[in-house]
Amino acid sequence: MIETNNIILNNTEIAQKIRRIAYQIYEVNYKESEIIIAGIADNGFFLAEKIVSIINEISDLKVTLCKVSMNKKSPLDTVTTDISTDDYMNKSVVLVDDVLHSGTTLIYAIKHFLDVPLKKFKTAVLVNRNHKKYPVKADFKGISLSTSIKEHVVVDFKNDEITAYLE
């Protein structure tokens, strides 16, 4: 059970943040014929699905959803996508994850996409923790949060309810 005083964002607030991120992505890419929204499995992909749904609702852009799979405990292992490199080559790509803490997950996922030429590359996160170990930033973020290094942010996707809280 989540203690209510540990909640950072409730479901309504998260829905508003996701909608705002989707609009920002559209504003940056409105001239593109197609964009790739690549979500890091698992929570990043769930977030990416929601972003794609809103972009499809507000625009005529062709949006391709991509799942990025990696071992977050051992990010040097192979990073894979469920679409081929030809599908995102010379296109605008937005890499999505739920929380940016040290930047380890994002930086290794970014490295995967840099093996092919891209037209544009941006990152989006729901929660930006400000404890970066790597020089990576979130271009689109729901909330920036300065917490102690010992605190852990959890984004919980349960049914149709999403909650972000400190653990």
Alpha helix (H) residue ranges in the chain:
11-29, 43-58, 85-88, 104-113
- Map residue 111 onto helix, strand or coil: helix
Rounded to two decimals, what is the model's pTM? Answer: 0.92
pLDDT the model gives residue 140:
97
- Residues contacting residue 29 through CB under 8 Å, at least 6 positions apart: 35, 61, 92, 94, 120
pLDDT the model gives residue 3:
60
Domain count across the chain: 1
- Residues contacting residue 75 through CB under 8 Å, at least 6 positions apart: 104, 105, 107, 108
CATH number, domain containing residue 66:
3.40.50.2020
User: The domain containing residue 68 runs over which residues?
Assistant: 4-166
The mean pLDDT values, 10 residues at a time, for the chain of 167 residues are: 76 97 98 96 96 97 97 86 96 96 90 94 93 87 84 85 89
pLDDT the model gives residue 107:
92
What string of DSSP letters covers 13-60? Answer: HHHHHHHHHHHHHHHHHTT-SEEEEEEETTHHHHHHHHHHHHHHHH--
Whole-angstrom distance, CA of residue 36 vs CA of residue 66:
7
Q: How long a stretch of residues is the chain? A: 167
